């Protein structure tokens, strides 16, 4: 049985300008200790998917329309707030993109680090402080004993993200959700932070969900990847399959448009048009208006994720029915 089983998760935002279908029927599983990447452009619903599971969507305007997210026998979407609270931050932890705004500027690092332990009643204050110091040391902050008494503004961006990781992992969670953890950081610091998450993951056996827009980051980090577009998963599979055997036209187009994979000076492939307006539902595939392979079929019927073998699934009617090849 998977550790986390998300089934048909659907989150809509009911705004004055209509219903925004941010996440529209997303299903995936997460096994114990594995690393899952969720890739997509801004507005594809990758963050909302994870926030919905943890009850972090402001309601209203947001509403979880349907679906289940079963974590170790508990449905996170339908359990009581109390039950959710005992899981969130303790067994499922999250780190956010911007380490500059996610720490409380008024509190010492120490007070913020021990908070998860105290709230979940995992330790008394004295032993919590001891654990906080060990954790801060483990995430590679030098001179942790004196830095722990400092305030967030005394730390650089990379160090703050290390503090965030320490805070998330201090309860030894089963799942760590990292939402663009390195996007605000420089490349050399990004390499440090990714290495750190990997190291801690191996030590604690934590499963990691990594949300990012950067295909480069997931390629070396994740076991499996979900590619999201327009609030849906359009392709899912083992990392190598996603990169070396891309099936969905969006996934293929995305890889053709990254400069890193193309010969220098070569004209980059561009996806025509713009990402879909999520408040206007489309009858068919949401990528159809931008897809060069789209036919009348694609605009009429919504595609479902179907297996192509080797745990590789894709949601493209032409690939499924007509065996469309790049």
- Give the footprint of other proteins on this chain (CB under 8 A): 41-42, 156-159, 186-192, 194-195, 213-217, 219-220, 239-240, 243-244, 253-255, 257-262, 264-265, 267-271, 274-275
Shortest Cβ 291–other proteins spacing (Å): 12
Q: Which long-range contacts (CB under 8 A, 24 or more apart) does 46-51 make?
A: 46/211, 46/228, 47/179, 47/180, 47/211, 48/11, 48/22, 48/23, 49/6, 49/9, 49/11, 49/23, 49/228, 50/94, 50/177, 50/179, 50/209, 50/211
Distance in Å, CB of 228 to other proteins, minimum: 13
Question: Rounded to whole angstroms, how far apart are CA atoms 12 and 268?
Answer: 35
Contact status, residue 197 vs residue 164, Cβ threshold 8 Å: no
Nearest 5°: phi and psi at 57? -85, 125
In the bound complex, what is the minimum distance in angstroms from residue 83's beta carbon to other proteins? 37
Least CB distance from residue 66 to other proteins, whole Å? 29
- Looking at the Cβ atoms of 251 and 314, the one nearer to other proteins is 251
- Of 37 and 173, nearer to other proteins (C-beta) is 37
- For the chain, state the CA radius of gyration: 21
Nearest CB to other proteins, comparing residues 94 and 184? 184
What is the biggest distance separating any 2 CA atoms in the chain, rounded to whole angstroms? 67
Q: Rounded CA gap, 271 and 299, in Å?
A: 18
Q: Whose Cβ is closer to other proteins: residue 4's or residue 228's?
A: 228
Q: Token pair for residue 54?
A: 């943890």
**Residue whose CB is less far from other proteins, 195 or 304:** 195
Nearer to other proteins, 64 or 215 (CB): 215
Q: Tell me how far, at minimum, the Cβ of 192 lies from other proteins, in Å.
A: 6
Q: How far is the CB of 195 from other proteins (least distance, A)?
A: 6
End-to-end CA distance of the chain: 35
């Amino acid at each position: 049985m998977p550790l986390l089983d998300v089934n048909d998760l659907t989150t809509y935002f009911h705004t004055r300008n209509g219903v925004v279908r941010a996440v529209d029927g997303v299903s995936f599983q997460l096994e114990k200790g594995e690393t899952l990447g969720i890739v997509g452009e801004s507005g594809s619903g990758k963050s909302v998917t994870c926030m919905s599971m943890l009850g972090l969507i402001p309601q209203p305007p947001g509403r979880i329309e349907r679906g289940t997210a079963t974590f170790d026998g508990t449905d996170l979407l339908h359990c009581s707030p109390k039950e959710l609270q005992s899981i969130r931050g303790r067994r499922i932890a999250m780190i956010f993109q911007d380490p500059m705004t996610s720490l409380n500027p008024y509190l010492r690092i120490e007070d913020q680090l021990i908070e998860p332990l105290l709230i979940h009643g995992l330790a008394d204050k004295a032993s919590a402080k001891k654990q906080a110091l060990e954790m801060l040391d483990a995430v590679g902050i030098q001179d942790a004993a004196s830095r722990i008494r400092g305030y967030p503004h005394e730390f650089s961006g990379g160090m703050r993200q290390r503090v965030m990781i320490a805070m998330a992992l201090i309860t030894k969670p089963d799942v760590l959700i990292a939402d663009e953890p390195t996007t605000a950081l420089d490349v050399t610091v990004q390499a440090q932070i990714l290495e750190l998450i990997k190291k801690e993951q191996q030590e604690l056996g934590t499963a990691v969900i990594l949300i990012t827009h950067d295909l480069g980051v997931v390629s070396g980090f994740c076991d499996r990847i979900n590619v999201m577009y327009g609030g849906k998963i359009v392709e899912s599979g083992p990392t190598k399959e996603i990169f070396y055997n891309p099936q969905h036209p969006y996934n293929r187009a995305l890889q053709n448009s990254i400069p890193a994979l193309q010969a220098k000076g070569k004209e980059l492939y561009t996806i025509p048009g713009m990402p879909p307006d999520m408040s206007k539902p489309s009858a068919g595939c949401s990528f159809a208006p931008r897809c060069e392979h789209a036919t009348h079929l694609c605009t009429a019927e919504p595609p479902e994720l179907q297996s192509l073998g080797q745990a590789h699934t894709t949601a493209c009617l032409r690939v499924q029915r007509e065996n469309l090849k790049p």
